[in-house]
Amino acid sequence: MSLLTVVNRHEVPFVGMWDGQEYVVSDRLTVPDFIAWHLKKQSIISDNPIVPGDNVYRLGILENDDDLSPLEAVLPVESLDRRDFDEFQKVRLMPSGIRTSRPEPKTTVTNSSTISK
């Protein structure tokens, strides 16, 4: 287990939780590595489902060479990066017009024949 330094990239303190204990990261906080990774994953700002790994986090880990540049004053409301969705066509659902009848109730089949050897 090693100690890692978590850096807050925003001016508002970040409050995260691990194992029922709150951790407040106002500027920098040194914690064990597993807590640092967990706090970073809690601080996700935007997620791009089309490009894996193209996520933006509010916290960065100093020893991991994460992006530690300050974020804008106002964080985006959207947490989903929708820029890549513009490439896809809009889907429109249309009724098929085919109606199915009500299914017949299942009947129980009993086999009265016995198999003898």
Domain ranges for the chain, please list them.
Answer: 3-82
pLDDT for position 96: 75
**Angle at Cα 12 formed by Cα 10 and Cα 15, nearest 5°?**
100
Amino acid in the structure at residue 31: V
pLDDT in tens, 58-75: 999 999 988 888 887 555
Is it the case that residue 84 has pLDDT exceeding 80? no
* 32 confidence band (pLDDT: 50, 70, 90): very high
Provide mean pLDDT across the span 86-103: 69
The pLDDT of residue 72: 74
Length of the chain: 117
User: Please, which pLDDT band fits residue 81 given cuts at 50, 70 and 90?
Assistant: low
Beta-carbon contacts of residue 47 (< 8 Å; ≥ 6 apart): 55, 79, 80, 81
Single-letter amino acid code for the residue at 68:
L
pLDDT at 55 exceeding the cut of 90: no
In this structure, are residues 41 and 33 in contact, taking their beta carbons and an 8 Å threshold? Answer: no
